[in-house]
Structure 1
């Protein structure tokens, strides 16, 4: 399967969508598409009240080992501050990085707006995979003041033709399940963000292109009868059907939680996913059966290094 980008399409597509990758010259049979929240990954110290531990060279080496094992063709990342940091994780120089425009805008932040934390979403796309960059889903930043994270939206091309649309998100934390009160401020914000996502889904469902949403939803969507999931997967427009690859799965991820009251981090295990890969029915038909996977790390390594409080998840598909 060739990922070629005919020259006569370049001008039209870049005028509409903003960017494209270099055309490849080899054949790809399958793609591995992954999502990973890298927890405050930054080349500079994080300036907040309770900053996470500063990573050392050996911490980055361990993260790079995980990335090598993951071997993603496309990685949707969250909580990455800059290219310098993620280049220490994806060390083989085979990727093009597409960051949320919120990152660029934050460098020229208007004093009237809240200074955004250095937690940006985006994609790492293996060299040779053709794509176009669509407008960011800025509406996820509910007040337009850069206090909440944008979604990053790309379209993959196959032989120069649109083949699959991908949106990566990192939504508001603090409303992990419907047992939490709807009066919870975080729940009100998350509900509004899902309304924005539903509008995006409805627009994509009316188009002929399969699509996926992946990232840190900060919600246990795969729990039985989750109301927010039911709102998103509501069957409208007629024929819309969504599938969460995490459905029926349990996370085996062990993570280290740092506490300012304890010198050493505590190891935790949360069996229900808050990171998800959501496919529409057309994209699900392209998914390779039983290809969903979570890349976990030996608990002794988790104890010894500053990794992330998320493990990457991935699946494979044919286009």
Structure 2
């Protein structure tokens, strides 16, 4: 399969180039927060006042970028239902699997047709404010089977407001994120006991690296490989620089740690540069890695 050209992030440089021909038995994983992807009109009570409904042209542009990813699995966040997701990921090419909740910002997955998918119960405990006016998000939990290999995947969108430093009280956001980290650690421990390959993907709202407090909580349950650790996110960076630390992450566990293709991290940087495009597209860019399946 030929991979379409898009922006390649490797080491400290952002290089425009092609990903080259895919090798056999590969799986491309991407995470993408599409920022209030909804069909609700501007001014709807479920939306913040500054959120504007996207136009048909905006949805078409997002769909063009989704096709350029040439991904097999996309962990998506801030999705207001299957109808909105289908505007970006056409159902004839993608299966859509969102959390079973009514929130406007739901995590989930778009999975390329042809891959076998098993849906699991939502990780509902991640919504530690369940039932509140401003509840949090559950985790979307699926297993994907490709080329005879099985990979358990969790798509998450964690509490904002605690991007680095201490976890826990007295800061409310950091206290909530610490609670969510403990819940994630429990999910990771269960996957480690099962002995399979797994990954946690999505918007962690946290600048994780190998020594971060949240990373230490998660890796106490199982060894993890962070695909974005030590890398800079070039999304919306000025002057083509290295960018800021990622808050979107792909954490690989179990056998999947050994499947990661070295230097396969890619970030699709939008061609648009005007500030208004952040709201028409997203303030997050899609980022992903390639796994070599056994």
Identify whether the pair has TM-score above 0.5, normalized to the shorter chain. Answer: yes
CA distance in structure 2 between the aligned counterparts of 1:57 and 1:284, rounded to whole angstroms? 40
Paired position in structure 2 for 1:148: 136
How far apart are 1:42 and its partner, in Å?
A: 0.7
CA offset digits 1:144-202 (Å, max 9, x no partner): 4261111011112246x661110110111111111688411111101000000001111
Structure 2 residue corresponding to 1:311, chosen from 272, 285, 292: 285
Residue matched to 1:214: 201
Shift of 1:93: 2.5
Q: Residue 254 in 1 paired to residue 236 in 2?
A: yes
1:270 and 1:187, CA in 2 relative to 1: closer, same or farther beyond 3 A? farther
Aligned ranges 1:149-228 → 2 under 5 Å: 149-158=137-146, 163-178=150-165, 182-222=169-209, 225-228=211-214
Partner of residue 277 from structure 1, selected from 245, 250, 257: 250
**Structure 1 CA distance for aligned equivalents of residues 153 and 162 of structure 2:** 24
Q: Mind listing any 5+ residue stretches in structure 2 that lack a counterpart?
A: 1-23
Other-structure match for 1:56:
55
- Relative to structure 1, the CA distance from residue 281 to residue 162 in structure 2 (aligned partners, 3 Å threshold; closer, same or farther) is closer
> Counterparts of 1:59-208 in structure 2 under 5 Å?
59-91=58-90, 93-102=92-101, 106=102, 116=103, 118-145=104-131, 147-158=135-146, 163-178=150-165, 182-208=169-195
- Kept in 1: contact 2:261–2:291 (CA 8 A): yes
Structure number, greater radius of gyration: 1
Question: How far has the Cα of 1:313 moved from its partner?
Answer: 0.9
**Aligned residue number for residue 10 of structure 2:** none
CA distance in 2, matches of 1:284, 1:128: 24
Matched, 1:286 2:274: no
- Cα 1:252/1:49, change in 2 over 3 Å: closer
Which residue pairs with 1:17 in the alignment?
none
Computed over aligned residues only, the root mean square deviation of the Cα atoms, in angstroms, reads 2.4
Cα distance change on mapping 1:178 and 1:162 into 2, 3 Å: same
Task: Tell me the CA shift for residue 131 of structure 1.
Answer: 1.7
Paired position in structure 2 for 1:297: 270
Residues 61-117 of structure 1 deviation map (CA, whole Å, 9 limit, x = unaligned): 221221121121111110010222222212472111111011xxx3xxxxxxxxx4x
Tell me, which stretches of 5 or more residues in structure 1 are unaligned? 1-27, 107-115, 257-268
Do the aligned residues in 1 keep the contact of 2:195 with 2:254 (CA within 8 Å)?
no
Q: Which string of whole-angstrom CA distances, capped at 9 and with x for unpartnered residues, describes residues 98-143 of structure 1?
A: 11011xxx3xxxxxxxxx4x11111111111002111110011124
Q: Is the 8 A contact 2:31 2:74 kept in 1?
A: yes
Q: Deviations over 1:13-34 (max 9, x none)?
A: xxxxxxxxxxxxxxx7211111
Contact preservation (8 Å) 2:59, 2:88: yes
CA distance in structure 2 between the aligned counterparts of 1:91 and 1:255, rounded to whole angstroms: 30
TM-score relative to the length of structure 2:
0.82
Relative to total residues, which structure has the larger strand share, 1 or 2?
Answer: 2
Is the Cα–Cα contact under 8 Å of residues 171 and 216 in structure 1 kept in the other structure? yes
Contact 1:100 1:121 in 2 (8 A): yes
Q: Is the 8 A contact 1:255 1:302 kept in 2?
A: no
- Separation in 1 of the partners of 2:75 and 2:96? 10
